[in-house]
């Protein structure tokens, strides 16, 4: 899957129009259109912003992996995944995602505070 198609799918999954995405990135909406058509590609800084916005890795956007989160769950503690139900695994993964999002927000706030 191309970078443009991944951006388009992720944008639609978030319920955003091209104009919405462009506004969040402070760019022109024609740029988003050209990315999605694979005419242009975002620069490195914008690629990182897209990854943060869509909560995926840059490797996923670039097609280097099909795992949007970029990690494999390791449930080796307490006997490993063979001893967990699917519901338990999903809940542990969701808790880990909530924790990582909290840490990411805290780091962003700290960076924002430094700029002020």
Q: What is the pLDDT of residues 92-111, one digit of tens each?
A: 888 988 999 999 898 888 88
- For the chain, the structural domain boundaries read 3-61, 77-115
Burial class (CB in 10 A: 0-12, 13-18, 19+), 54: buried
Q: Is the pLDDT of residue 79 over 90?
A: no
> pLDDT class for 46, splitting at 50, 70, 90?
very high
Which option is the CATH number for 3-61: 3.30.43.10, 3.30.450.20, 1.10.3720.10, 1.10.260.40? 1.10.260.40
Answer whether residue 73 shows pLDDT above 60: no
Mean pLDDT over 48-58 rounds to 93
Judge whether residue 78 has pLDDT over 70: no
Tell me if 9 sits within 8 A of 36, measured CB to CB. Answer: no
């Amino acid at each position: 899957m191309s970078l443009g198609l991944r951006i388009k799918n992720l944008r639609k999954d978030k319920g955003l129009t091209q104009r919405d995405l462009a506004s969040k990135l402070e760019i022109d909406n024609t740029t988003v259109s050209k990315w999605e058509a694979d005419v242009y590609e975002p620069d490195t800084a914008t690629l990182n912003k897209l990854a943060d916005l869509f909560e995926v890795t840059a490797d996923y956007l670039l097609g280097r992996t099909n795992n949007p989160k970029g990690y494999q769950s390791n449930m080796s503690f307490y006997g490993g995944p063979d001893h967990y139900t699917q519901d338990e695994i999903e809940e542990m993964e969701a808790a880990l995602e909530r924790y990582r999002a909290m840490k990411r927000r805290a780091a962003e706030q700290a960076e924002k505070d430094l700029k002020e």
